[in-house]
Copies of this chain bind each other. A is one copy, B any other.
Amino acid sequence: MEMRDMILVSLDDHLVEPPSTFADVPVGLKDLAPKIITKDGAESWVYEGRLLPNIALNAVVGRPPEEFGFEPTAYSQLREGTFNPDKRVEDMDADGVCASVCFPSAVGPAGQLFADATDKKAALALLQYYNDWLIDSWCGSNPGRFIPLGIVPVWDIDLAVAEAKRIAKKGARTISLHDNFSAKGLPSIHSGYWDPLFAVMEEERMVISAHIGTGNQAPHASPETPIDAWITTMPMSIAVAAADWLYSPIFKKFPNLKIALAEGGVGWVPYLLERVEFTYKHHRAWTHADFGGKTPSELFFSNFITCFISDDFGMKNIDFLNPDMICWECDYPHSDSVWPRSANALWDSVKHLDKETIDKITHLNTIREFRYDPREILGRENCTVGALKDRSKHVDTAPVAGRGGFNPKEGAEKRPVTSADVMKLFTVAL
């Protein structure tokens, strides 16, 4: 097997909503829908009179590393593949990526924008419109290339159940949910409140996509801490959610439900599982922990999908994991992605493994769990890294400078970028 022979299905990428996202809302919603305004050269979404701080979060793909940052504030600063699905497909081709799960940006990866709205009736209609847009327009634009993901109105369980059923019919294979509802002021997964939603998701075989940062946050140690420290610990911060879901009753009640810990990495997981086994054996006599006849590791291996961008240490320790529940992801267009060298980086991590294991990690696991097989639509021979890269020679992947960057106006300043510097970018007023 060679790098060219891999088929890459990415469990976690991000779309940037184009300015036209809400262009086709019904007449009654026109005034209520989020819209782009331009102020001092910066473009921002406005919704219910609130200015959203960031159109693209960290969509710096295609920039030279000197100009990475969290500040893209205009569509002209973005590579077009971030917000145009046809261009995205070209960028996927150039990276050797066959298919992709795309999370929202402006509305929040788990749809928090609508949950925070005052006019909940309009918010529900807009959320439904958004799901239609994401599934029909974005994913529908290029059959076989995008695995449909949806969001639900988490402010009302009955509405959430109804929307989950609706988007299941439309083909959604997964719902992006907060990794920790409690951290967002919502009932916890232990409360039973969400059980009707999980029942529908199990019934419809829709995976829970729990992306890092959607509930539990990686703490910034101090405002003066270099931002690199936060970037370093961010993926592992989902360990808190992993333990929370593992000790919850959810997978005992819904044994066929699966949760994907998107962008969480895998190299720390064997340590966590040893720790969870120790805790179980050593403490259960007084805590009354109960995994329904399984050990905690067995439950983890059967219901938790772990995801990684690149993770040499994890791939060297795959014997401590379940190779049927590890999935690769690209994270396009965020700064942790190594586009357009994803295939090279991944190959370096996995080439010591046998073909069967590589195939599971690169695509078979995601295809099975998300019930979406691009090979059936596109033809297997058109899905490989080699085939995709061969046909994308016209795609210019060279870094483009001058599109922005962390602090371009201050130019020469070379002090370390801190947590405070980055947090400031997310605090804006209209």
CA distance A243 to B232 in the complex (A): 7
Q: Contact: A233 with B229, CB < 8 Å?
A: no
A230 and B216 CA atoms in complex are apart in Å by: 13
B286–A65 contact, CB under 8 A? Answer: yes
Q: When chains A and B are docked, how far (Å) is the Cα of A67 from the Cα of B189? A: 28
The answer, yes or no, to whether A241 is at the interface (CB within 8 Å) is: yes
Which residues of chain B are near A67, meaning CB under 8 Å? 286
Interface residue count on the A side (C-beta < 8 Å): 78
In contact, A226 and B247 (Cβ under 8 angstroms): yes
Q: Is A77 an interface residue (CB 8 A)?
A: no
Cβ of A166: which chain B residues have Cβ within 8 Å of it?
none
Bound: A314/B267 CA distance, A: 11
Whether the pair A182, B216 counts as a contact (CB closer than 8 A) is no
Q: Is A235 an interface residue (CB 8 A)?
A: yes
A197, CB-defined interface residue at 8 Å: no
A136 within 8 A of B: no
Closest to A182 in B: B222
Q: From the candidates B64, B232, B311, name the one contacting A285 in the complex (CB within 8 A).
A: B64
Question: Is the pair B221, A182 in contact by a Cβ cutoff of 8 Å?
Answer: yes
| B residues less than 8 Å from A290 (CB atoms) | 416
Interface pair B229/A286, CB less than 8 Å apart: no
Least distance between A247 CB and chain B CB atoms (Å): 4
* A10 vs chain B, min Cβ distance (A): 18
Inter-subunit contact B221/A180 (CB<8 Å): yes
Set of chain B residues within 8 Å of A285, measured between Cβ atoms: 64-66, 68
Q: Report the separation of the CA atoms of residues A287 and B226 in the bound assembly, to the nearest whole angstrom.
A: 8
A203–B421 alpha-carbon span in the complex (Å)? 34
Which of A238-293 touch B at CB < 8 Å?
239-241, 243-244, 246-248, 265, 267-268, 270-272, 274-276, 278-280, 282-290
A417 on the B face (CB < 8 A): yes
CB-nearest residue of chain B to A189: B222
Which of these, B229, B288, B405, contacts A244 with CB under 8 Å? B229
| Interface assignment of A183: CB less than 8 Å from any CB of chain B | yes
Residues of B within 8 A of A415 (CB): 288
Q: Shortest Cβ distance from A177 into chain B, in angstroms?
A: 14
Taking CB atoms and an 8 Å cut-off, the chain A residues in 168-197 that contact chain B are: 180-183, 188-191
Contact bitstring A199-225, B, C-beta under 8 A = 1, else 0: 000000000000000001011011111
Q: Known: A268-B272, A271-B313. Contact between A283 and B231, CB under 8 A?
A: yes
Residues 402-430 (chain A) with a chain B CB within 8 angstroms: 405-406, 414-418
Report whether A236 and B272 are in contact in the complex, using a CB–CB cutoff of 8 Å.
Answer: yes
Contact assessment for A229 and B216 in the assembled complex, using a CB-CB cutoff below 8 Å: no
Cβ of A264 to closest chain B Cβ, rounded Å = 11
Q: Report A206 CB to chain B, min CB distance, Å.
A: 23
Copies of this protein, total: 2
Decide if A142 is an interface residue (CB 8 Å cutoff).
no
Let me know if A317 is at the binding interface, CB within 8 A: yes
> Per-position contact with B for A326-340: 1 when CB-CB < 8 Å, else 0?
000000000110100
Best-surrounded residue of A246, A271, A289, A314 (most CB of chain B within 10 A): A271
Given A222-B180, A415-B288, check contact A314 B271 (CB 8 Å). Answer: yes
Interface pair B236/A268, CB less than 8 Å apart:
yes
| Interchain CA distance A313-B321 in the complex, whole Å | 12
Q: Is A132 on the interface with B (CB-CB < 8 A)?
A: no
Residues A313 and B191 in contact in the complex (CB < 8 Å), given A67-B286, A283-B65: no
- Minimum Cβ distance to chain B for residue A407 (Å): 8
Question: Which of chain B's residues have a CB closer than 8 A to the CB of A226?
Answer: 190, 247-248, 287, 289
Q: Does A310 contact B (CB under 8 A)?
A: yes
The reply to whether B287 and A417 contact each other, CB–CB distance below 8 Å, is yes
User: Which 5 interchain pairs have the tightest Cβ spacing?
Assistant: A267-B271, A182-B222, A221-B244, A188-B222, A65-B285
21 A-B contacts, Cβ less than 8 Å apart?
A65-B284, A68-B285, A180-B222, A182-B224, A183-B221, A189-B222, A216-B221, A221-B244, A225-B244, A226-B247, A228-B287, A231-B279, A233-B239, A247-B416, A271-B313, A278-B310, A286-B406, A287-B417, A288-B415, A288-B416, A313-B317
